[in-house]
Amino acid sequence: MRTKGSTRTGGEKESRDERQDPVETIDPTPLFEAASQARESFGRFNLAIAGGTGVGKSSLLNAVFGEDRAATGIGLPVTRGIHYYVNHDKTLGIWDFEGFEVGTTLTPAQMVQENLSTISTGPPEKQVSVVWYCVLSSVARLTPAEIDAIRAFDAAGKHVIIVLTKVRRARNLAGRWTLDEDAEKFLDFLAEPRDHRGEPIDLPTVTVIATAAVDQGKYGPKHGLADLMTATLGLSPEVAQDAFRVAQRLSLPLKLELARRFTAAAAVSAAAAAAVPVPFADAAMLAPIQLGMMGKISAVYGIDLRVVLSAQAVSQLATQIAGKALARSVVKLIPGAGSVINASVAAALTAASGEAWTRICERVFTGELKLDDVESLWSSYGPTVTQVLGWVLKNKTNSTIPMAAEVP
């Protein structure tokens, strides 16, 4: 390592440290294996979406899941009035209940019952997690047939969220957006539904969310989607929640939560691997843990490194960001670190690199970055001495390994 004020001529040989402590090429296989295992472990979130033609179901789906949700082309009718779509990484399935207003001998409730019966005979990965029943807010009413359809979903044990679509808003005197009067009245009705005689109506829904999936000009920007996602995640079976976090494209915090879970687990594993301090030269033992963590984080953001990077670039990335290379770039600059890596240092290196890789993946996901030059990206986003040292000092007397979110 060059020090301040040092020079090197063309014929000068490498320093003693660099000769004796070369950074060997790291096998990137754990990166790919972990990403593949993570994708399998996510499972699939299956959304049933229902409502009449023109209520804005497509706009709603596009806003939350992106327009490539049916990229695999699985969209043929399954049975009368229903289609099934799967996104490219198979973390999202959409059961689109259609045609309630199409003439048929079956009532909407009977169609729901028939289709749910068909779904129930299928594999676990196709079972409905949550139902969005979409109603156009400007209509401001539910027909008896729609109420019966909602009851049919509920009778089958499905959580139903009524989603009011294309909800208009207006600015009040304080400049804040408020729902228009018709939407407010409709919400009041749905909170305590009664028929024209004033008799209570059995409407078994968990919650009602007012939304606008696209900007409505003078009626305000899009809104309600964050509330819809929170409600949906809360009602989803635990086995489908990670799939929902991965499939949705609207909330970075939901993805960050999952990414940091992988980072925290890797920090614990790295600490365990270095429970008995290891020589600095043996830091390569941490590489599989760190690469596995990065592979899982990549999967959270839907980044397939085999597709976006060449084999040479992936090998370069693995060699640069894990094991001895990571330790060399940071630990040797920490005063008093010595020549060994202990549990605290191993966990700090791993946690800090997980945070750095998460920041890169977020920006690739949002289109702010491209993985064209991994070396320069890692130089800009990689963990700093301050981050690692701060983590080590913070946890010097703490026997537990904190969540990665606590890395400075």
Same domain, 79 and 145: yes
Does 324 reside within a domain? yes
0.85 exceeded by the pTM?
no
User: Does the pLDDT at position 279 exceed 80?
Assistant: no
| Confidence label for 24 from pLDDT (cuts 50, 70 and 90) | low
Does 331 reside within a domain? yes
Same domain, 278 and 382: yes
Same domain, 159 and 80: yes
Among residues 247, 276, 308, which one ends one of the domains? 247
Same domain, 231 and 374: no
Instruction: Provide the pLDDT for residue 180.
Output: 85
What is the rounded CA–CA span in Å between residue 77 and residue 98?
A: 10
Contacts of 164 (CB under 8 A, 6+ apart): 135, 136, 137, 183, 186, 187, 208, 209, 210, 211
User: Does the pLDDT at position 241 exceed 80?
Assistant: yes
| Confidence label for 226 from pLDDT (cuts 50, 70 and 90) | very high
Instruction: Provide the pLDDT for residue 401.
Output: 40
The residue with greater pLDDT, 236 or 401, is 236
Give the HSE-up count for residue 261: Cα atoms under 13 Å, Cβ half-sphere.
11
Same domain, 182 and 88: yes
Q: What whole-number percentage of the chain has pLDDT above 70?
A: 80
What is the rounded CA–CA span in Å between residue 227 and residue 213?
A: 12
Give the HSE-up count for residue 304: Cα atoms under 13 Å, Cβ half-sphere.
7
Contacts of 105 (CB under 8 A, 6+ apart): none
Instruction: Provide the pLDDT for residue 330.
Output: 66
User: Domains in the chain: how many in total?
Assistant: 2
What b/e string do you get for 300-316 counting C-beta neighbours within 10 Å, with b at 16 or more? bbbbebeeebeeebbbb
Same domain, 54 and 197: yes
Same domain, 196 and 262: no
Same domain, 291 and 162: no
Q: Which domain holds residue 272?
A: 251-406
Does 203 reside within a domain? yes
Among residues 247, 263, 296, which one ends one of the domains? 247
What is the rounded CA–CA span in Å between residue 262 and residue 234?
A: 21
Does 232 reside within a domain? yes
Among residues 221, 247, 273, which one ends one of the domains? 247
| Nearest in space to 353 (alpha carbons), one of 323, 376, 392, 332 | 323
Determine the average pLDDT of the residues in 215-228.
90
Which ranges constitute the DSSP H helices of 173-224? Answer: 181-191
Instruction: Provide the pLDDT for residue 341.
Output: 78
CATH number for the domain spanning 201: value is 3.40.50.300
Q: Mean of the per-residue pLDDT values for the chain?
A: 81
Instruction: Provide the pLDDT for residue 93.
Output: 95
Classify burial at 108, counting beta carbons within 10 Å of its beta carbon; exposed 0-12, middle 13-18, buried 19 or more: buried
Instruction: Provide the pLDDT for residue 82.
Output: 82
Query: Are the CB atoms for 147 and 162 separated by under 8 Å?
Result: no
Same domain, 192 and 260: no
Same domain, 182 and 265: no
Reported as a single tens digit per residue, the pLDDT across 56-110 is 898 999 999 986 554 333 444 444 568 899 998 899 999 998 756 555 677 889 8
Does 264 reside within a domain? yes
User: Does the pLDDT at position 373 exceed 80?
Assistant: no
What DSSP character marks residue 285?
A: G
Same domain, 150 and 98: yes
